[in-house]
Chains A and B, each alone.
Chain A
């Protein structure tokens, strides 16, 4: 496997071809915040919190580091002014949806997010897709999925599959950053599964 050398926050990093910028950064000890990334599941690119600024050939752009492949000579800035500004707003918008989420509160503090910038309208789920993707890709069960689109998007149990699988498994519960998913399961179980 060939290797590529890139610079992340001023540090030179060499990784195998095909490694994402996020993985490369983690190996170099650079912490990039993420909400929808987990080992073993294909990059989803939904939360956009891992967005970084890359420069190549004098031109800079913003890319999601969890999906972007490391390239030879790439100059990556994980906390540039633009990056910090965008992360702050993304967190502020999510905090209106799931104000009690610990990860959001911690990242919010790190990036100076204003908790009440937007009117709270909690759905408590941030639609990171960790549960859905983990169930499909790692467990191969497809017992949960997204329904609806846009603002109406939600995570739902797939009735038949969930009744069979979820009782024994529950593996996604520990992944949920908001804690709302295990609660939903508890609520759903009472009338449907018992």
Chain B
């Protein structure tokens, strides 16, 4: 391990690494983020190690386990260089063939390639439509880095931004660069990072802290995890630059215990940074002392709120406290504390390296740079996408996301996680940035995008998020604790058919008080899913209350499955598949659902052949009287069931 005692040492080390690297050496990279890990990418890696050893190739082929590439829908992702061929959904049993044909012979294995709409295989990862529209400035390096090997980061230009800041900029100049870049916090609020840095820097104190907030907890959002897992040094480099600009000697990284790979990779990164002299009493020999501690969160969503997070770091219960004095003035142990989210910190080295002017050239008037979104839900290509601020939502959902599965219709996108709101179809061309999302009644949040299709009930969606928040609220202040409880009560009764006239108005009344009166931002934004679904889908609420109908056919208490005796061809499929034996009938006899036994699982609906279409979902109207037992089926012309 080289010890880098100066910036010249860093550059020398980088040159040595570059010189030692032969571009013609075959290289295999295996995506090993949590998504691919769950798909057993570790087994794929083992298979490569075995195969290369068996073939006497170890040492002649570089094997790199990288972090998340983003296209989680199609993991495990394997890329082979110098051919630049990317294979998707690779299984351990594919490895022998990949080594024999692609690594050794340079041939392409067609069946492992991505296929476009016309069935043509695509070779390069960048040419896959999911990636083609992206600008992965922050996230893109993940593909080339082994997060457990600092040298793979340095060879990609890592820590050059830190060297530049230390060498060519005063702390205030580095801070001014971030300010000029108009970098806004990626964690939810979108507060200008530069202004916050300045407040912390100017606050009178001998001790200041910098904190990485990696308590990402929104359902369906995982961009911070993937950054921290895949490129921990990028986050660390940003943090060290921030410490330099702000004048902090201590940093904390608050990371969820539920992110084991992130915790592990981060610990590796910190150890290596210490050994290299990037952390410690004199960062790169500059005389600046800086050290970082990892604080593992014990599993509370509310601890992502800055004052609660700081309480937790102090060793107390992670509960928010009133922030009439900002944490940038009085934070951890009453000292000025600057907290930013993972993605914000990871963006900092880019700004220092390429300059504020470059950064402000990307994005919209008020939101600069790129943003990573986690695209999940009813969308064909699930994964992480990084796009310039201002990209129309339609492009994200359709060009990158590949549209809605099974030909269903788009209904809405929930942005900003549980504290965000829904963006309905009429706003699909909305340019996605902080202010446009606010105006549309939602928010950027940390960048979660959950796509909802026509089969999703909006009242049920609001209920889902509220249920999450009611469990995750700390329970300290009355508006949040009791308000969430009462709103959930009302939503539960609407979804089960017990909604009353006036419930929507009552919800609106509670929303107003919870928004305005809660102690922290969790409570303040908690009613957003309710109010945004009421504003955009009021008719759906009214249908539940007045007609006891769920227009999306999702609320179990409000739907029934019924077999149309005119269409049933007595094929026995639904009868055999019903898990609770609720369907009676027999050969040539019309099948009948016993409504009292039916659990509304929907299996009969799914298995009924589309050429019959006999099982129907009904809501809001009484189930027609069942035909007498033993009624013979009316055969379709041509005897369709024979």
Interface residues of A (CB under 8 A from B): 43-49, 51, 62-64, 67-69, 82, 85-86, 89-90, 93-94, 96-97, 118-119, 126-127, 129, 146, 148-153
Contacts and interface: CB of A to CB of B under 8 A. Distances in A.
A71 B550 CA distance: 52
B300 A69 contact: no
Interface residues of B, number: 32
Given A67-B322, A69-B324, 8 more contacts: A45-B477, A82-B516, A86-B513, A93-B483, A146-B317, A149-B471, A149-B475, A151-B470
A127 B317 CA distance: 16
B485 A51 contact: no
Given A119-B489, A151-B470, A46 B478 contact: yes
B473 A150 contact: yes
Interface string B288-330: 0000000000001010000000000000010001101100000
A175 B324 CA distance: 27
B474 A149 contact: yes
B484 interface: yes
Contacts of B518: 48
Nearest to A97: B482
Contacts, number: 94
Nearest to A117: B506
Contacts of B516: 62, 82, 86
A44 B319 CA distance: 11
Contact of B479 (A90, A126, A152): A90
A30 B471 CA distance: 37
B428 interface: no
A153 B302 CA distance: 14
A86 B519 contact: no
Contacts of B472: 149-150
B300 A47 contact: no
Nearest to B317: A146
Nearest to B474: A149
A48 B281 CA distance: 46
A170 B637 CA distance: 86
A49 B482 CA distance: 13
Given A45-B322, A127-B481, A151 B519 contact: no
Given A43-B322, A63-B324, A151 B478 contact: no
Question: Which of B300, B475, B479 counts the most A-chain CB atoms under 10 A from its CB?
Answer: B475
22 contacts: A44-B476, A45-B322, A45-B477, A46-B477, A47-B478, A48-B478, A48-B479, A49-B478, A51-B517, A62-B516, A62-B517, A68-B324, A82-B516, A86-B513, A90-B482, A94-B478, A97-B482, A129-B476, A149-B300, A149-B472, A151-B481, A152-B475
Contacts of A96: 482, 486
Contacts of B517: 48, 51, 62, 86, 90
Interface in B455-478: 470-478
B362 interface: no
B206 interface: no
A119 B503 CA distance: 13
A93 B322 contact: no
B350 interface: no
B22 interface: no
A75 B389 CA distance: 39
Contacts of B473: 149-151
B557 interface: no
A148 B510 CA distance: 24
B24 interface: no
Contact of A90 (B317, B476, B489, B513): B513
Nearest to B485: A151
A90 B517 CA distance: 9
B68 to A, nearest CB: 31
A45 B512 CA distance: 19
Contacts of A97: 482
A48 B477 contact: yes
Contacts of A94: 478, 482
Contacts of B322: 43, 45, 64, 67-68
B324 A89 contact: no
A51 B479 CA distance: 11
Contacts of A67: 322, 324
Contacts of A86: 479, 512-513, 516-517
Interface centre among B321, B322, B470, B512 (most CB of A within 10 A): B322
A119 B490 CA distance: 10
Nearest to A89: B513
Contacts of B481: 127, 150-151, 153
B519 A45 contact: yes
B509 interface: yes
A148 B324 contact: no
A85 B484 CA distance: 18
Nearest to A62: B516
Interface string B420-464: 000000000000000000000000000000000000000000000
Nearest to B322: A67
Contact of A48 (B484, B509, B519): B519
Contacts of A127: 475-476, 478, 481
Contacts of A85: 512-513
B475 A150 contact: yes
A77 B317 CA distance: 33
